[in-house]
Amino acid sequence: MKKQFDIIAGPCSAESPEQVMECAVSLAAQGIGTLRAGVWKPRTRPNSFEGAGLPALEWLKAAKQATGMKLAVEVASAAHVQAALEADIDILWIGSRTTPSPFAVQEIADSLKGTGVPVMIKNPINPDVDLWTGAIERLQQAGIENIRAIHRGFSSTQENLLRYAPQWEIPIELRRRMPSLPILCDPSHMAGRREYVGAIAQMALDMNADGLFIEVHPNPEQAKSDSLQQFTPSQFQQVISSLRRHRDIEESDSRKLAPMRSELDELDSQLVEILARRMEIVKRIGAYKHLNNLAILQPQRYQSVSDSVAIEAATKGMDEKFIRSVFETIHAESVRCQLENENNNLK
């Protein structure tokens, strides 16, 4: 049995009555049940297209009446919420520029009390799972029960082929914290270019995403915002039909996987034991440094260890970046442990 998931699609921005209607009709014909469109667009710099505002809500209402589709728009304030609800918008989403602000999220949450309107919340631009979690909790505490998260990628100082780095470990951690929370993926913003959207959408399904949030425009080259990442309706149909959808794990799969998982559990136990023994040695080293007035951080030693394990990992077919990140975490904990002992000695 294949896993059921939602697909929400539509233009980055509602730009005209004709554009909204054309997009809605073409997507409805493909079986898409929810039309997304930006009405108020938070832009990095002024003098860019910041959305059509209130008139766009009327265009969306007309598209809903013509197609029967549900409507989803982004809100960033209580005034946006009030206008959207008056326009009979079905689903609201909080964007990645609003999520980082506890004040803005709380204002939106308070304005939604008692409405029962579904809310989707995008991850903050910066990779901060606590900030994302906190924003969701604010909605929950306001009594909003129908909440979904949207993973749209994160800003990064590292050079990346994509517009925003996926950093899959963050939505994985969010799912661990909130197992019942549906998480959709926005491959359009993550990719930044339409030629990469399909591959990221497939990755999202491979990562067990609950749905996709994709930008579609009748004429992307003429779009007033994010023209490079939007599909035409026909491109969208082609990509969606090519996606490989996974079935749920059945009892027979679990039986076949059980021996391999048992091996992993044993190795994980050994890893914890080895790390515990390593930290005992770290504490002894820290005590020696304290007694002999030596600095805790020894950069040359750390660089030597990092290079050595990276070379050894390469001989075993492991990714160098991965192994360096593992030892970066181990080293950070080692330094923290020695600093803690140093502070205890100063008391």
- In 3D space, the residue among 154, 155, 180 whose CA is nearest the CA of residue 168 turns out to be 154
- The whole-model pTM stands at 0.84
Give the per-residue pLDDT at 159. Answer: 72
pLDDT at 116 over 70: yes
Calculate mean pLDDT across residues 139-153. 97
The proportion of the chain whose per-residue pLDDT surpasses 90, expressed as a percent, equals 86
Cβ atoms of 205 and 246 closer than 8 Å: yes
Give the per-residue pLDDT at 4. Answer: 62
Q: How confident is the model at residue 1 (pLDDT cuts 50, 70, 90)?
A: very low
For residue range 173-214, what is the model confidence (pLDDT) as tens digits? 999 999 999 999 999 999 999 999 999 999 999 999 999 999
**Higher pLDDT among residues 41 and 233, named by residue:** 233
Q: State residue 35 phi and psi, 5-degree precision.
A: -100, 125
| Weakest-pLDDT range from 152-156, 246-250, 331-335 | 246-250
pLDDT at 17 over 60: yes
Give the per-residue pLDDT at 46. Answer: 76
Exposure string (b/e) for 34-71, b if CB count within 10 Å is 16 or more?
bbbbbbbbeeeeeeeeebbeeebbebbeebbeebebbb
Give the per-residue pLDDT at 347. Answer: 59
| Bridge-based pairing state of the strands 6-10 and 147-151 | unpaired
For residue range 268-302, what is the model confidence (pLDDT) as tens digits? 999 999 999 999 999 999 999 999 999 998 889 99
**Higher pLDDT among residues 75 and 160, named by residue:** 75
Give the per-residue pLDDT at 96. Answer: 96
Cβ atoms of 192 and 228 closer than 8 Å: yes
Q: Which residues contact 120 (CB under 8 A, 6 or more apart)?
A: 72, 91, 92, 93, 94, 147, 148, 149, 150, 184, 213
Calculate mean pLDDT across residues 77-94. 97
pLDDT at 311 over 60: yes
Q: State residue 200 phi and psi, 5-degree precision.
A: -70, -35
Mean pLDDT rounded to a whole number for the chain:
93
